[in-house]
């Protein structure tokens, strides 16, 4: 039998990449993010010094482009003579780690709870949504701050607290998406064909709700980095001498008038990382939102 | 409208009870003995310990303690500070105007700049102006505001010496608070230079607190405007020969404002969270700094009462926004 050659349909990824790459900002964001990721993974190789190595004879050394700067310490040193660049490089590990842990925790729990609420509706749904309303009634940073005060200051507790205050957004989003999908024909068809509750929830409905969740997860990733840095800045996140960016800012605060660089660079690192992730988030939304594609 | 109000209240009451349970259990989840924490003493005779437990009502069953607590809340008793012994509500009411003043100035700045910026970006879609405005908005949205505040202090207070670093007004001026709002009180005091001083103290915290709402409002306005500008009635208005200014300013903007107003309402929580950081950086004597200080002083009675009051404020504002929205847009009442 003769075979007919047909062009293959574009794969899901190539279609995604087509829309994503049309957004220049998103591609720049992705490039910056990959650099931060590389630096974080290979920190021991990339960093010129150990993050906690103190050089007591060169305290508050200015960056290399200023008078008195040294190439050995490109961004200068802090109040106990530690290399700022090396601390920032190691700090990237903490920020990305925080982002990954918080998003994983809040997505897993949020999607599961949202799926249950949206699928079963009724009393379960009402109770779940009321609890989410209660969490959302507090300003997120305040609730996280108080939770960390209860649990004890530290990076792990800060991550748990941030994941908890982030989670209602995923619950609401999943619930809304599940409620829209549940009445569609393909779900009913699957139900008629004899699919069980678990199959309907996780294999039939959930994959079709992913687009908004992926976008929200990106935003939550950058928000988690910001919140963790804010808690570190307030003294309730990672504790010194951990080279976490927010904690570094808190330590540097008292030298604000004498040595601007100890304050400027950690914040710049936070801003650049968060900005890169948000740029990617905008690109993801363009690529995944079918409504925007046609406009 | 009355039914709509009742419906909203019916949701609000369980939320309020839930919030009170969280605030109540919080102090009981803390590691350590509450009596030892409150007294600050290291050693205590068991009799004295039992006596204090009884005085504080801590020896009774938990649910009775909770109902007592709830009863006190309803009568406006939010407990007293462990450190200063002052009632939490008094402190809150004294400090709250400072936070309102700062938040109001910030939201006014955010709206005054954010809406025109968003409209301009939408009208000039795809141009360098659009890209610049949206780029700046994304930077603002990604900003760690505690760092932003420090940068502004370094530049404007340290380098240029234009603005003071912390507080609400210069120590040269002293007058009794009338409204609690420094801008108004300084005018009422009649002292020359007082108002100017209050403004100079307010500028940097306002910019810092306004940054994120400003970015959010500009982005939201742009996307709402883009949607509206593609509608038929806008084309009709243009076809009638109406001036572009009138088409955009009257026809398009008015309809684009509905989602923007919702966004502005949602910024209340953002502002209060931002106030925690902004007030800490600028030593602004509002409720944000008060809460952070109390957490560090382990003044859990204040933290508990403060959480309750702040959540109540947010719920009240959200209710007000919902009602306002119901008035503007009758479709959602049902």
Can you give the pLDDT at residue B31?
63
- Separation in Å, CA of B176 to nearest CA in chain A: 31
Q: Which residues, including other chains, have CB under 8 Å from residue B25's CB and lie 6 or more apart?
A: none
Q: How many CB pairs under 8 A join A and B?
A: 117
Q: What is the DSSP letter of A228?
A: H
Contact A274 B314 (CB under 8 A): no
pLDDT of amino acid A23: 84
Place of tokens 């002293």: B174
What is chain A's pLDDT, residue by residue, as a tens digit (295 residues)?
Answer: 566 666 777 777 888 888 888 888 899 999 999 999 999 999 999 888 888 888 888 888 888 888 877 888 888 888 888 888 999 999 999 999 999 999 999 999 999 999 999 999 889 999 999 899 888 888 889 889 988 888 888 899 999 999 999 999 999 999 988 988 888 899 999 999 999 888 988 898 988 888 888 888 998 999 999 999 999 999 888 888 889 999 999 988 888 888 888 899 999 999 999 999 999 988 888 788 755 544 4
- Is A267's CB within 8 Å of B148's CB? yes
In order, the DSSP letters of A6-22 are: -PPPPPHHHHHHHHHHT
Q: How near does any CA of chain B get to the CA of A200, in Å?
A: 31
Tell me the angle at which helices A140-151 and A210-233 cross, rounded to the nearest 10 degrees.
60
How far A111 CA sits from the closest chain B CA (Å)? 22
Whether B150 sits inside 8 A of A263 (CB atoms) is yes
- Note which residues in 149-208 of chain B have CB less than 8 A from chain A: 150-151, 153-154, 158
Give the whole-angstrom CA distance, residue B165 versus residue B204.
8
| Rounded Cα–Cα distance for residues B248 and B235 (Å) | 11
Contact yes or no for B276 and A145 at CB 8 A: yes
* Touching B: A residues 229-258, CB under 8 Å: 229-230, 233-236, 246, 249, 253, 256-257
Name residue A77's beta-bridge partners.
A83
Contacts of A183 (CB under 8 A, 6+ apart): none
CB atoms near residue B3 (< 10 Å): 9
Give the three-class secondary structure for A83.
strand
Quick one: pLDDT at residue B245? 82
If residue A239 lies in a helix (H) or strand (E), which one and from where to where?
A: none
Decide if A263 contacts A253 (C-beta within 8 A).
yes
Query: Chain B interface, mutation test: which of A139, A223, A294, most B Cβ atoms within 10 Å?
Result: A139
Identify which of B289, B303, B237 has the alpha carbon closest to the alpha carbon of residue B30.
Answer: B303
User: What is the reported pLDDT for B333?
Assistant: 63
Is A127 within 8 Å of chain B by CB? no
Q: In this predicted model, what pLDDT tens digit does every residue of B129-154 receive, in sequence order?
A: 999 999 999 999 999 999 999 999 98
pLDDT at B42: 67
pLDDT score recorded for residue B209: 95
pTM exceeds cut of 0.90: no
Tokens of B41: 């003493």
On whether any CB of chain B is under 8 Å from the CB of A3, the answer is no
A226/B contact by beta carbon, under 8 A: yes
Residues of B in contact with A152 (CB under 8 A): 31
Which one, of A145, A228, A158, A106, lies nearest residue B26 by Cα? A145
Pairwise CA distance, residues B205 & B102, whole Å: 7
- Structure token digits, residue A200: 């309907």
CB contact under 8 A, A149 and B295: yes
**CB within 8 Å of B241: residues ≥ 6 apart:** none
Q: Tell me the β-bridge partners of A83.
A: A77
Q: How many angstroms separate the CA of residue B187 from the nearest CA in chain A?
A: 33
Residue B134 Cα, gap to closest chain A Cα (Å): 11
SS3 of B90-153:
HHHHHHHHHHHHHHHHHHHHHHHHHHHHHHHHHHCCCCHHHHHHHHHHHHHHCCCHHHHHHHHH
Query: Scanning the structure block, which residue is given the tokens 């009596």?
Result: B35
Among A256, A271, A274, select the one facing B150 at the smallest CB separation.
A256
- What is the rounded distance in angstroms from the CA atom of residue A9 to the CA atom of residue A149? 55
Is A153 touching B (CB cutoff 8 A)? no
Which regions of chain B are under pLDDT 70? 30-42, 328-334
DSSP codes, B23-66 = HHHHHHHSSS-HHHHHH--S---HHHHHHHHHHHTTTS-HHHHH
- What pairs with residue B80 in β-bridges? B87
Helix ranges, A66-198 (H): 84-120, 122-136, 140-151, 155-182, 185-192, 197-198
Look at A271 and B269 and tell me if their CB atoms are within 8 Å.
no
Beta bridge partners of residue B87, listed in sequence order: B80
């Amino acid at each position: 039998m003769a075979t007919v050659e047909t062009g293959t349909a574009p794969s899901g990824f190539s279609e995604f990449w087509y829309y994503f790459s049309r957004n220049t900002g998103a591609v720049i964001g992705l490039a910056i993010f990959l650099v931060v990721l590389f630096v974080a993974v290979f920190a021991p190789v990339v960093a010129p010094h150990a993050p906690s190595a103190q050089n007591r004879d060169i305290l508050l050394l200015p960056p290399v482009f200023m008078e008195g700067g040294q190439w050995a310490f490109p961004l200068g040193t802090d109040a106990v003579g530690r290399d700022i660049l090396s601390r920032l490089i190691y700090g990237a590990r903490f920020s990305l780690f925080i982002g990954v842990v918080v998003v994983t925790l809040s997505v897993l729990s949020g999607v599961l709870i949202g799926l249950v609420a949206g699928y079963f509706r009724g009393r379960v749904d009402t109770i779940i949504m009321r609890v989410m309303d209660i969490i959302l009634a507090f300003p997120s940073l305040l609730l996280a701050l108080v939770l960390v005060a209860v649990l004890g200051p530290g990076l792990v507790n800060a991550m748990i607290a941030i994941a908890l205050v982030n989670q209602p957004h995923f619950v609401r989003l999943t619930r809304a998406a599940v409620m829209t999908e549940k009445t569609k024909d393909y779900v009913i068809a699957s139900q008629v064909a004899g699919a069980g509750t678990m199959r309907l929830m996780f294999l039939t409905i959930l994959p079709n709700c992913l687009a908004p969740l992926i976008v929200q997860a990106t935003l939550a990733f950058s928000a988690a980095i910001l919140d963790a840095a804010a808690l570190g800045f307030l003294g309730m996140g990672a504790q010194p001498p951990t080279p976490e960016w927010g904690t570094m800012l808190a330590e540097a605060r008292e030298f604000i008038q004498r040595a601007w660089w100890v304050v400027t660079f950690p914040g710049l690192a936070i801003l650049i990382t968060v900005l890169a992730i948000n740029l990617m988030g905008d690109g993801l939304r363009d690529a995944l939102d079918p409504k925007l594609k046609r406009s | 409208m009355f039914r709509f109000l009742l419906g909203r209240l019916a949701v609000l009451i369980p939320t309020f009870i839930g919030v009170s349970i969280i605030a109540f259990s919080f102090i009981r989840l803390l590691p350590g003995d509450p009596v030892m924490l409150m007294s600050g003493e290291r050693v205590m005779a068991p009799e004295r310990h039992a006596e204090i437990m009884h005085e504080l009502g801590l020896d009774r069953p938990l649910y009775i303690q909770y109902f007592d607590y709830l009863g006190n809340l309803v009568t406006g008793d939010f407990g007293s500070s462990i450190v200063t012994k002052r009632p939490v509500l008094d402190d809150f009411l004294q400090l709250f105007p400072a936070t309102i003043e700062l938040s109001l100035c910030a939201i006014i700045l955010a709206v005054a700049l954010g809406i025109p910026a968003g409209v301009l970006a939408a009208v000039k879609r795809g141009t360098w102006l659009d890209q610049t405005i949206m780029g700046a908005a994304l930077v603002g949205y990604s900003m760690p505001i505690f760092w932003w505040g420090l940068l502004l202090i370094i530049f404007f207070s340290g380098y240029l010496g234009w603005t003071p670093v912390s507080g609400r007004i210069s120590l040269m001026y002293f007058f009794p608070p009338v409204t609690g709002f420094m801008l108004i009180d300084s005018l009422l005091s009649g002292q020359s230079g007082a108002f100017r001083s209050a403004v100079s103290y307010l500028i940097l915290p306002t910019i810092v607190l306004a940054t994120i709402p400003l970015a959010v409002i500009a982005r939201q306005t742009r996307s709402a405007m883009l949607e509206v500008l593609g509608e038929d009635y806008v084309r009709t208005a243009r076809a009638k020969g109406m001036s572009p200014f009138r088409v955009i300013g009257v026809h398009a903007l008015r309809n684009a404002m509905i989602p923007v107003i919702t966004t502005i309402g949602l910024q209340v929580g953002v502002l209060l969270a931002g106030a925690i950081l902004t007030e800490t950086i600028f030593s602004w004597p509002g409720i944000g700094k008060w809460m952070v200080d109390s957490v560090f002083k382990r003044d859990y009675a204040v933290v508990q009462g403060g959480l309750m009051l702040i959540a109540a404020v947010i719920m009240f504002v959200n209710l007000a926004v919902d009602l306002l929205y119901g008035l503007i847009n009758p479709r959602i009442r049902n």
